[in-house]
């Protein structure tokens, strides 16, 4: 015959068993929910990158081996891209990396394409791919002295995540060439500095400077404050540069700091030569076309 003490013991064991069953099922629900959320995030990463790769396959001609021998051979179907999104202003391509994306631009708006991809889909649950975009403060034809392009630092290494890795001089020096293809012509850009600045440092993205002296001072500042050591050192050509390009992404920590890789123009091919066999140049700036665009920026600044 069970004693009162044995009965109490059984009740306590039953309560403890019930408690741990509840803990187990709650943990299982949390685990399944976490796995489901993680799976959804990975799916959106795959879907976003796959969309951009599909667009690239239909609209851009770049060498499969990444060896660009003639800047004029990089051809973009601008009409096809405008049919997808009329805000297209450029295509950015870096051989040997995942960077091969369209660039969108909304005048005066640097927020919209943080949350909308190039085909205008909207992200969710923090898995937004967005679109590579030219700053809304810049002119859409890249006629400014300082042109800033923004891209997300995605966890899977896509979009502009690579530019955060450029804080390492060795990685930076492995990728010194960036191609920026535009409806006005093709740019071959050469990187020369990486800056790590708080997102409140808005002056680094100033499109144009009132005087040549102030623009020269800004270029000197970029070299002095750079967190990497270029090898080879190409900053001796920077004094004559009339146009700079900055490729910006967050540092991946708390999104309050930015990495910006700066480059100047090594070569420019006007659109009339792109896709034609007549262009054989490999010199700095063909026909002075980039200088003419820069002159337009100076005229706007003076007015």
DSSP 285: B
Higher pLDDT, 288 or 266: 266
CA atoms within 13 A on the CB side of 268: 22
As beta bridge partners, residue 249 has: 259
pLDDT given at position 291: 54
Residue 226, classed as helix, strand or coil, is coil
Least trusted range by pLDDT, from 54-58, 107-111, 118-122: 118-122
Rounded Cα distance between 100 and 66, Å, is 11
As beta bridge partners, residue 191 has: 263
* pLDDT greater than 90 at residue 272: yes
pLDDT given at position 33: 43
Tens-digit pLDDT profile for residues 240-259: 999 999 999 998 766 789 99
* DSSP H/E element including 194: strand 185-198
Are 108 and 133 in contact by the 8 Å Cβ rule? The answer is no
User: CB count, 10 Å around CB of 301?
Assistant: 15
* pLDDT greater than 80 at residue 281: no
CA atoms within 13 A on the CB side of 128: 20
pLDDT, the chain, mean: 83
* pLDDT greater than 90 at residue 76: yes
Tens-digit pLDDT profile for residues 213-232: 999 999 999 999 999 999 99
Residue 75, classed as helix, strand or coil, is strand
* pLDDT greater than 60 at residue 303: no
Query: What is the mean predicted confidence (pLDDT) over 155-184?
Result: 94
Are 44 and 32 in contact by the 8 Å Cβ rule? The answer is no
* pLDDT greater than 70 at residue 7: no
Rounded Cα distance between 73 and 98, Å, is 20
Strands 60-61 and 185-198, how do they pair? unpaired
Confidence of residue 66 (pLDDT cuts 50, 70, 90): confident
Confidence of residue 26 (pLDDT cuts 50, 70, 90): low
pLDDT given at position 41: 47
Confidence of residue 126 (pLDDT cuts 50, 70, 90): very low
* pLDDT greater than 50 at residue 82: yes
Rounded Cα distance between 294 and 303, Å, is 14
* CA distances (Å), origin 141, targets 103, 135, 228: 12, 12, 29
* DSSP H/E element including 264: strand 257-270
Whole-prediction pTM = 0.79
* CA distances (Å), origin 32, targets 218, 238, 274: 52, 55, 53
Confidence of residue 92 (pLDDT cuts 50, 70, 90): very high
* pLDDT greater than 90 at residue 206: yes
* pLDDT greater than 80 at residue 192: yes
């Amino acid at each position: 015959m069970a004693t009162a003490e044995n009965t109490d013991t059984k009740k306590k064991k039953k309560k403890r068993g019930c408690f741990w069953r509840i803990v187990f099922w709650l943990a299982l629900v949390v685990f399944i929910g976490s796995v489901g959320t993680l799976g959804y995030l990975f799916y959106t990463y795959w879907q976003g990158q796959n969309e951009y790769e599909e667009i690239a396959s239909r609209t851009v001609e770049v060498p499969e081996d990444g060896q660009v021998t003639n800047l004029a051979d990089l051809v973009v179907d601008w009409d096809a891209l405008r049919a997808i999104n009329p805000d297209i202003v450029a295509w950015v391509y870096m051989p040997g990396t995942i960077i091969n994306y369209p660039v969108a631009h909304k005048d005066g708006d640097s927020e919209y394409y943080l949350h909308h991809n190039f085909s205008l889909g909207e992200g969710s649950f923090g898995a937004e791919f967005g679109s590579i975009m030219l700053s809304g403060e810049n002119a859409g034809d890249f006629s400014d002295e300082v042109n800033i392009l923004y891209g997300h630092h995605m966890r899977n290494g896509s979009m502009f995540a690579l530019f955060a890795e450029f804080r390492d001089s060795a990685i930076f020096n492995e990728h010194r060439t960036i191609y920026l293809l535009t409806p006005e012509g093709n740019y071959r850009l050469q990187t020369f500095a990486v800056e790590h600045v708080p997102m409140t440092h808005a002056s680094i993205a100033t499109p144009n400077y009132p005087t040549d002296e102030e623009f020269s001072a800004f270029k000197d500042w970029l070299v002095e404050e750079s967190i990497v050591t270029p090898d080879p050192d190409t900053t001796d050509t920077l004094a004559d540069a009339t146009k700079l390009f900055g490729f910006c992404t967050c540092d991946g920590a708390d999104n309050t700091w930015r990495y910006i890789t700066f480059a100047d123009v090594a070569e420019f091919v006007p659109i009339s030569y792109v896709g034609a066999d007549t262009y054989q140049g490999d010199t700095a700036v063909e026909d002075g076309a980039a200088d003419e665009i820069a002159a337009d920026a100076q005229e706007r600044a003076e007015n």
